[in-house]
Copies of this chain bind each other. A is one copy, B any other.
Amino acid sequence: MSETFSIGDLSREFEVTTRTIRHYEDLGLLAPTRSGQNRIYSARDRVHLKLILRGRRLGFSLKEIGELLELYDAPNGEASQLKRFIGKMRQRRGTLLEQRRDIDRVLEELDALEKRCAEILESRDENAA
């Protein structure tokens, strides 16, 4: 067990530059251990990176992603903190559901557009025939 990764490993696996990964560390989103000078990433760090990139694809800012990661690692605090966390998560869920509705709308529009295009192409075929 206890697999570890170099920055180059993660860079290749997730197709991001090492600069990007270090940037995330600068912002406190990653905290690899060190072997001498070199960064050593645990499986947990790797999961964090995966979550960061997923969040990025969803349009979250790195700051927001940081908060999400806090949630992810959190269940340690006091009851009051935990309740606040739960509240935040509910909010997140809300925006995510909105976002999914947005996606569905755009998908519908793309379908409609494609049909319009297809019809135009067909009608031209008729004229050409």
Contact call A117/B58, Cβ cutoff below 8 A = no
Give the size range of A's interface with the partner. Answer: 35 or more
The complex places the Cα of A74 from the Cα of B89 at a distance, in Å, of 40
* Partner of A54 from B92, B97, B102, B110 at Cβ < 8 Å: B102
Chain A positions within 8 Å of B, measured between CB atoms, are 54-59, 71-72, 74-75, 79, 82-83, 85-86, 89, 92-93, 96-100, 102-107, 109-110, 113-114, 116-118, 120-121, 124
Given contacts A79-B124, A86-B117, 14 further A-B contacts (CB under 8 A): A57-B98, A57-B99, A58-B103, A59-B59, A74-B113, A75-B116, A75-B117, A75-B120, A82-B117, A92-B106, A96-B103, A96-B106, A99-B103, A100-B104
